[in-house]
Amino acid sequence: KLQPAYGADVLRLWVASVDYSGDVCIGDNIIKQTFESYRKLRNTARYLIGNLADFVPEGREGSNAVPYEELPSIDKWMLGRLSATLNEVNEASDDFLFNPATQALLRFASADLSNFYLDVAKDRMYISALDDPRRRSCQTVLHAILEGFSKSVAPILPHMAEDIWQNLPYEADTKSVFEGGFPTQLTEFAEHEEETWTFIRNLRDDINKLLEGARNDKMVGASLDAACYVYAPDEKARELLNSLDGDRGLVFPPEKLNGVDELRTILMLSQVNLVDSEADVASACEEQYIATSGTLSGCVVGVKKADGEKCARCWFYGEQLGADLGLEHTDICQRCNHAIGEWEKVKGTKFVKAVPEPEAVEPVAK
């Protein structure tokens, strides 16, 4: 009674995650660590479910799913990672190698989803207009991940998997997660531009390390408070970065790229400046916020405070907000003005900005 009621799934996860070819240890700390892994998987599923409330899957009336051919590059890459993980889990489970299967699921949930794709997806899911293609394409991928994740985790965590299935925000094909078999259709996505997205993730890690120092020094808070300067000595890397260099401002519709496969939204920075030399980075950023060697990407990177004004809705900094463009909502960018306009059309009502209530003032004792 003195111990937390972790439940059967946590015990099953511990059994599946240990290497039974050697001595197996168990104790309070080990079970507590296993519970943290369990919670990571459960929170990932909650995020996926919460962002599919208005999504209608392919094959159903009124579907708003996006065909694979029309998906942005990052979404095709994510589906490739999903298929690779599901195949790894399936093959390991067939050979009764539950430890590699469990580690593959945890690695996918942590490294590929939480630390990268789901973090980048927040701008698309929360800021875009309801039917914006960049939002619907993301939901298409989240739907595939949710179904693949719940099916692959079911043999190890049956209670969690069934809980997910019974709370799907759309009508499922089967009543139970254990009906319908393994989702073989989700194992057939090919790897997509793996080298490109590995490089971009390494660059993101390089910049995030610098941002930690900037946060400690109170120069920035959130990553969107910052701008970065990048110099790539390698010609191939320069060409890749240039191909992902989007619009300078938050314009709608996007002019240069698709609004998804661009450095600013992938790196979650207000401005990304690609420069021609290491000296250009040094002249723009303070020395303590520059990495010239030992970077994962091989680039010279630096960070500084973003220029311009902060959009009150998406928090990106830009040179022009609604007031500068003559738009209805003066303190937000053009993209957010469009999103609110689309919301008003769908809901048939006028958006009214909430006015915060004044803080209560404590009476002064006399």
CA–CA distances in Å: residue 58 to residues 61, 150, 191: 8, 18, 22
Q: What is the pLDDT of residues 221-250, one digit of tens each?
A: 999 999 999 999 999 999 999 999 998 888
Q: Which pLDDT does position 150 carry in this prediction?
A: 94
Q: Which pLDDT does position 15 carry in this prediction?
A: 92
Instruction: Measure the CA angle with vertex 201, ends 153 and 82; round to 5°.
Output: 25
What is the pLDDT confidence band of residue 20, given thresholds at 50, 70 and 90?
confident
Measured CA to CA, the distance from residue 212 to residue 350 in angstroms comes to: 40
Q: Which pLDDT does position 249 carry in this prediction?
A: 81
Measured CA to CA, the distance from residue 248 to residue 187 in angstroms comes to: 38
Q: What is the pLDDT of residues 141-179, one digit of tens each?
A: 999 999 999 999 999 999 999 999 999 999 888 999 999
Mean pLDDT of 2-16: 85
Contact present, 278 and 232 (Cβ < 8 Å): no
Above 70 in pLDDT, residue 72? yes
What is the pLDDT confidence band of residue 362, given thresholds at 50, 70 and 90?
low
What element of type H or E holds 124?
helix 118-127
Q: Which pLDDT does position 3 carry in this prediction?
A: 67
Q: Which pLDDT does position 310 carry in this prediction?
A: 94
Q: What's the full length of the chain, in residues?
A: 366
What is the pLDDT confidence band of residue 355, given thresholds at 50, 70 and 90?
confident
Measured CA to CA, the distance from residue 17 to residue 11 in angstroms comes to: 10
Q: Which pLDDT does position 1 carry in this prediction?
A: 45
CA atoms within 13 Å, Cβ hemisphere of 345: 9
Give Cβ neighbours of residue 73 (< 8 Å, ≥ 6 apart): 192, 193, 196, 197, 260, 261
Q: What is the pLDDT of residues 28-60, one digit of tens each?
A: 899 999 999 999 999 999 999 999 999 999 988
Above 60 in pLDDT, residue 366? no
Looking at every residue in the chain, the average pLDDT score rounds to: 92
Above 60 in pLDDT, residue 2? no
Above 70 in pLDDT, residue 124? yes
Q: What is the pLDDT of residues 304-325, one digit of tens each?
A: 999 999 999 999 999 899 999 9
- Counting DSSP H helices and E strands in the chain, the numbers are 13, 6
What is the pLDDT confidence band of residue 10, given thresholds at 50, 70 and 90?
very high
